[in-house]
Amino acid sequence: MAAPLESESAGYLLPRHEGAWTIQDVLALPEDRTQRVELVDGALVVSPRGALLHQVLAFELGATLKAACPAGLRATAEIDVEMPAGNWLIPDFTVIRDVGFPAGLFPAEHVVLAGEVVSPSSRRRDRTLKRQLYAEARIPFYLVVDLGEEPVSAVLLELDGDGYREVVRSEAGKLLLDRPFPVTLELTV
C-alpha cells in the first residue's frame, strides 16, 4: 500500500517521505510522464515538460545529431542518466556511446554530450547546476541552447579539468560543430 500523499508540487503528488531521496525511492514512484523528475543531492527536482517550442527544438537537434553520429555513437532524447553521488538527471538530448540498452538508468560514463534547451524556468539550473553536475560526471561535452535570446543561441562547452570551457558559439541561428563529430545544427524552427 502506498504511503499517504504529503504534498502537491506543481500538480505532482508526492508520497510522504523522510530524509534524503535515493534513486530507488524515485524509481518506486508512480510513473508520471507529464512531469520531469530529477534527483539532485537527495532532493527531488520536479518540473513540467518544456513548452512546444522547447520540445520541437530538442527533437530536431536530436534528429540532426542522430543523422550525423558516427558508428559507435547514437543520439537520444530525454534519457534518465545516473550521475555520481546518487544524482539523476534527464538531459533534453544526448549523444551516447552505443553500449546496448542497459537496464535501469543510463550510466553517465557512456554519455559523450549532454544537451539542454534553456527556458526561462530552467535558466539557472541549466546554466549553473547542471553544468557543474555534468562536469563532475566527466561528460566530455555540454551543449546549451538558449530560447531566451533572439535569434536562439547555442554554445558548445568541452570538459577541461574540473569544468567546461567554451569551444564554439552559434552565429546567425546556426551552430557549426567539429566535435565530438562534424555537424551543423539549425537553431530555427
- Fold for the domain defined by 52-186: tt1808, chain A (3.90.1570)
Residue ranges per structural domain of the chain: 5-48, 52-186
Q: Which three cell numbers stand for residue 101?
A: 540498452
Which tens digit of pLDDT belongs to each residue from 31-79? 776 778 888 888 888 877 788 888 999 999 999 999 999 999 999 988 9
Which tens digit of pLDDT belongs to each residue from 120-179? 767 777 778 899 999 999 999 999 999 887 889 999 999 999 999 999 999 999 999 999
Give the pTM.
0.85
Radius of gyration of the chain (CA): 17
pLDDT value at 189 more than 90:
no
